[in-house]
Chains A and B, each alone.
Chain A
Amino acid sequence: MGVVDLAPLSERPSVVVAMSGGVDSSVAAYLLAKQGYPLVGVSMQVWDYKQNSAENSRATCCSPADFCDARMVADALDIPFYVVDFEAMFQQEVIQRFVDTYKQGLTPNPCIDCNSRVKFRELRNRALTFGCGVVATGHYARIRKGAAGYHLLRGVDRNKDQSYFLYTCRQEELEQTLFPVGEYTKPQIREIAREAGLSTAQKPESQDICFVAGSVQDFVTRIGGGRGKGNFITKNGEKVGEHEGVHRFTVGQRRGLHLGGSAEPLYVVGLNAETNEVVVGSRSDLERDGFSVEEMHWVSPELLRVVSGKTFPFERDVIVQVRSRHDGNRARMTAHSPQCVTVTWTDGWAPVSPGQAAVMYDLNNEELLCGGRIAAHRT
């Protein structure tokens, strides 16, 4: 159900709106309340910040102080508000996978696991038990209903677009999800919050990963996913230095290597979890014609139809986005099975980090078609 095609007031379903205490979800709740949806505000207790954060928990979202902000907004909107415990689920489905992925020398994307496994699965289950069939969040993305099904589009504000994190959404989830802020730009959202007098209007952006305050690598080390000292090597196997563990690096990374003595800038071009080795090289060493993607999720109604027709292989020209901050490059996607595709760059390229998501959009770079996890490079 797109937020634009409104049902008559009396038929609007009860909606659980996930409220992190930030301005985006506050405005999401405000917009839906204004449109007459019966709302239930929910903050998800996913992580024990007191116990797990050495740093000031204010640096993250979803901390107890943020719940307080969410509660104040809910009270101002006169909607019921609850903090619901998701800690065990979050530990199992997000934190553990996050640490395990680093251990394998891959780069995890916990926000995607959180969306697919916690927000759009467990929160939806809980919402149903509260008598709410629909879940709303403050994501910058849009949903449109078409003749063949629901289409997931980038948010209007391309700088804030979060559709990349939502590629695991299924049709039945899109049908029962609302993304009210995706129809606006961030400055517009702040303006709406200010005009509505929401207490979170001026709240700063939350950065990076919600459950980590400070360095991700220190966090991984602290909760037991860290590796000891290892070597930097060149692609020919020559040792060029030492590092503090393979979990501290991501393919494509340039900063923080602390390696001197090279004429051109050095990049991480490969990670070997078994030997705890970080392979470094020049930017051109990162360049590949393409890559494989596994664990595919098919989102657009058109591709869902093709995949269910089992007409493999098939090809599509797409725009591929390989990191959260990447505008996308044009590529040819070849689907070999419902689970696996290969991507061949056709206009420019971007370094890819195995473990991260590759998400395919249409050539207008507007509609999300499908996505999956970038496979480890064949070496």
Chain B
Amino acid sequence: MIIDLDANSTYLPSEEIQEVMKLAWRRLGNPSSLHRGGQRARAEIERAREAVRYLVGAEKGDLVVFTSGATESNNMVLRAPWRSLAVSATEHPCVLGPARRVASAGAELRIIPVNEDGEVKTSHLEEALSRHTDFISIMAANNETGAINDIHELARVARSACPGAHIHTDAAQIVGKESISFAALGVDSMTISGHKFGALSGVGALIIREGIQLEPLLVGGVQESKLRGGTENVMGIISLGVAAQAVRETLSVRASTMSELRNCFEDSLLTTLAGVEINAKGAQRLPNTSNIFLAGSRGDDLVIALDREGILVSSGAACSSGKPEPSHVLMAMGQSEERVRSTIRVSFRADQSKEIVPRAVSAIVGAVSRMRSATSEN
């Protein structure tokens, strides 16, 4: 049996969602078509939009724009005309990349540092802001460590320091794991990603506060309030809606199940194996995420060794070929490259049971012990 401890990479659709998708296939046309097939598709899309709006706590007037995922959503807000950007050091590459591109076209880019637990504190933010800052991006929760930022407080500080600035948050990892309210956060835009909470990959959304004007990334169609041209990804959007509804209804149970699994796993690993440290331990963390330093191991080799035993984890540096770079997230937390390369990420699903924990722990202990003895022999 495969034990999927890599839910932060992709949260595979539950069987319930798979069943809904099977039924959806045959009756849907192009949502822009006037006939019944088109009407049904349009209705499904709007239903999904309301499910997402409800899940993320957006107001009626806020825009929910469907995109191909978090990368597109972040690219949509992160481009000209911003002249002075402040983004946190541990952002996902799909925020850092567009930010650097804007900077290379002449804008100022300031990186907001994090503390050793990977959190952006208001003091870090205040230092990074200038009176010119017109765009600020801070992630809601980090994909590698699970460290959660207090976006509400950070947005308040940013708003008072730079009243005219656009405040964005990438919430791709937090949705489906902790409750979140777009309206209460006080930000101008927020990114979400479908496959991080059980929808298909290739679909996500950008939530835009009422009254905020953004330019479309893709033009040539009137879809999505003219903000995203092109025929909608109907199946993806339906899956997003179904997943949003499923998650919204069960969120508190999901969160407590995941945190119980994660805490049990960490306690067990820490008592079984020496030379183990949990990263971002001092931060409030996503309930399912554990980022672990295992002294004397190599993270990427551990991923392979555990895969051989049917246990899926991540080394934090997803890379299918070529040379993996050490995690910029852990480096930003002040860790050495050597330590960063000895780290893996474990992320649980809400539908897993506690029985998987002993198997996962013993596999990790076995693989790390083999590596430690191989190193000491040379």
Question: Hey, which chain B residues are within 8 Å of A82, CB to CB?
Answer: 304, 307
Interfacial chain A residues near B374, Cβ < 8 Å: 125, 128-129
Write the chain B residue with the least CB distance to A38: B308
Query: B221 at the A/B interface (Cβ < 8 Å)?
Result: no
- Bitwise, A60-80 to B at CB < 8 A (1) or not (0) is 000010011001000000001
- Asked if B331 lies at the interface with its beta carbon under 8 angstroms from chain A, I say no
Interface residues of A, Cβ cutoff 8 Å to B: 14, 40, 43, 45, 48, 64, 67-68, 71, 80, 82-85, 87, 125-126, 128-131
* Pair A130/B323 contact, Cβ less than 8 Å: no
**Contact flags (1/0) for B289-316 with A, using CB distance below 8 Å?**
0000000000011001101110000000
B61 contacts the other chain (CB 8 A): no
A43, B323: Cα distance in complex, Å: 12
> Complex: how many Å from CA A68 to CA B322?
11
C-alpha gap A48/B367 in the complex (Å): 28
A16–B300 Cα gap in the complex (Å)?
16
Given contacts A128-B374, A129-B367, contact A45 B321 (CB under 8 A): yes
Which of B308, B320, B367 sits near A80, CB closer than 8 Å? B308
The residue in chain B whose Cβ has the minimal distance to the Cβ of A47 is B323
* Structural contact, B321 and A129, CB atoms closer than 8 A: no
B322 touches A83 (CB 8 A): yes
Q: Which residues of chain B come closer than 8 Å to A85, judged between CB atoms?
A: 300, 323-324
Residues of B within 8 A of A71 (CB): 321
The one of A64, A87, A131 that contacts B305, using a Cβ cutoff of 8 Å: A131
A residues less than 8 Å from B371 (CB atoms): 129
A64: chain B residues at CB < 8 Å are 321-322
Partner of A67, one of B301, B307, B321: B321
Q: Considering the chains assembled together, what is the distance between the CA atoms of A73 and B321 in angstroms?
A: 15
Q: Are B301 and A83 in contact (CB-based, < 8 A)? A: no
- Quick check: is B370 within 8 A (CB to CB) of the other chain? yes
Name the one of A14, A48, A126 contacting B301, with C-beta atoms under 8 angstroms: A126
* Set B304, B323, B378: member contacting A87, Cβ < 8 A: B323
In the bound complex, do residue A45 and residue B378 qualify as a contact, i.e. CB atoms below 8 Å apart?
Answer: no
Chain A residues with CB under 8 Å of B320's CB are 83
* Cβ B321 vs Cβ A84 within 8 A: no
Task: Contact check, B305 vs A130: say whether CB atoms are below 8 A apart.
Answer: yes
19 pairs, CB–CB < 8 Å, chain A vs chain B: A40-B304, A43-B321, A45-B322, A48-B322, A64-B321, A67-B321, A71-B321, A80-B308, A83-B321, A84-B301, A85-B324, A87-B323, A125-B378, A126-B301, A128-B370, A129-B301, A130-B304, A131-B305, A131-B309
12 further A-B contacts with Cβ under 8 Å, apart from A43-B321, A129-B305, are A45-B322, A48-B322, A64-B321, A68-B321, A82-B304, A83-B320, A85-B323, A85-B324, A128-B370, A129-B301, A129-B370, A130-B301
A67 — nearest CB in chain B belongs to which residue? B321
Complex CA gap A48/B321 in Å reads 11
Compute how far the CA of A130 lies from the CA of B302 in the bound complex, rounded to whole angstroms: 8
Q: Which of B300, B308, B322 contacts A40 (CB 8 A)?
A: B308
A179 to B304, CA, bound (A): 24
Q: A129-B371, A129-B374 are in contact. Are A84 and B323 (CB under 8 A)?
A: no
Instruction: Return the chain B residue nearest A86 by Cβ.
Output: B323
Q: Shortest CB–CB separation between residue B171 and chain A, in angstroms?
A: 32
Q: Is A84 a contact of B378 with CB atoms below 8 Å?
A: no
The CA of A43 and the CA of B324, in the complex, are separated in Å by: 14
* Interchain nearest-CB distance for A173 vs B (Å): 15
> In the assembled complex, which residues on chain A have CB atoms less than 8 Å from the CB atom of B308?
14, 40, 80, 130-131
Closest Cβ–Cβ distance, residue A113 to chain B (whole Å): 17
Q: Is the CB of B305 within 8 A of A84?
A: no
Q: How far is the CA of A68 from the CA of B323 in the complex (A)?
A: 14
Smallest CB–CB gap between A74 and chain B, Å? 12
Query: Which single residue of chain B is at the shortest CB-CB distance from A68?
Result: B321
A84, B322: Cα distance in complex, Å? 8
Q: Give A326 Cβ to nearest chain B Cβ, in Å.
A: 34
Q: How far is the CA of A14 from the CA of B305 in the complex (A)?
A: 12
Residue among B307, B321, B370, B371 with the highest chain A CB neighbour number at 10 A:
B321
* CB-contact partner of B300 in A68, A84, A125, under 8 A: A84
Place the interface of chain B in its size category: 10 to 19
Interface centre among B304, B308, B322, B378 (most CB of A within 10 A): B304
B304 — which chain A residues lie within 8 A by C-beta? Answer: 40, 82, 84, 130
**In chain B, residues 346-378, which have Cβ atoms closer than 8 Å to a Cβ of chain A?**
367, 370-371, 374, 378
| Chain B residues within 8 Å of A128, by CB | 370, 374
Give the distance to chain B from A83, nearest Cβ to Cβ, in Å: 5
Give the chain B neighbours of A130 by CB distance below 8 A: 301, 304-305, 308
A48 to B324, CA, bound (A): 11
Nearest residue, chain B, Cβ from A82? B304
Bound-state Cα–Cα, A71 to B308, Å: 17
Taking CB as reference atom, which chain B residue is nearest A87?
A: B323
- Which A residues lie within 8 Å of B324 (CB)? 85
Closest to B301 in A: A129
CA distance A14 to B309 in the complex (A): 12
The smallest C-beta distance from B300 to any residue of chain A, in angstroms, reads 7
Determine the distance from Cα of A64 to Cα of B320 in the docked complex, in whole angstroms: 10
Q: In the complex, what distance in Å separates the CA atom of A67 from the CA atom of B320?
A: 10
Q: In the complex, A289 Cα to B135 Cα: how many Å?
A: 79
Lowest 6 A-B CB distances belong to which pairs? A83-B321, A67-B321, A129-B371, A129-B370, A82-B304, A125-B374
A191 to nearest B CB, angstroms? Answer: 30
- Taking CB atoms and an 8 Å cut-off, the chain B residues in 307-340 that contact chain A are 307-309, 320-324
Smallest Cβ-Cβ distance to B307: which chain A residue: A80
Closest to A85 in B: B323
**Closest beta carbon of chain A to B173's beta carbon, Å:** 26
Docked Cα-Cα span, A84 to B304, in Å, equals 9
Residues of B within 8 A of A131 (CB): 305, 308-309, 370
Chain A minimum-CB-distance residue to B375: A125
Q: How far is the CA of A85 from the CA of B320 in the complex (A)?
A: 11
| CA gap between A45 and B378 in the complex, in Å | 21
Residues of chain B within 8 A (CB-CB) of A14 are 308
Measured in the bound complex, the distance between the Cα atoms of B324 and A67 in whole Å is: 15
Query: Once bound together, how far apart are the Cα atoms of A171 and B162, in whole Å?
Result: 71
Give A78 Cβ to nearest chain B Cβ, in Å: 14
Contacts of B300 in A (CB 8 A): 84-85
Shortest beta-carbon distance from A63 to chain B in Å: 10
Hey, which chain B residues are within 8 Å of A67, CB to CB?
321
A40 to B303, CA, bound (A): 13
Rounded to whole angstroms, the CA-CA distance of A82 and B303 in the bound complex is 10
Q: For the complex, what is the distance from the CA of A126 to the CA of B305, rounded to whole Å? A: 9
Docked Cα-Cα span, A48 to B304, in Å, equals: 22
Q: Is the CB of A48 within 8 A of B305?
A: no
Q: How far is the CA of A45 from the CA of B367 in the complex (A)?
A: 22
Residues of A within 8 A of B323 (CB): 45, 48, 85, 87
Within 84-116 of B, Cβ neighbours of A (below 8 Å) are at: none
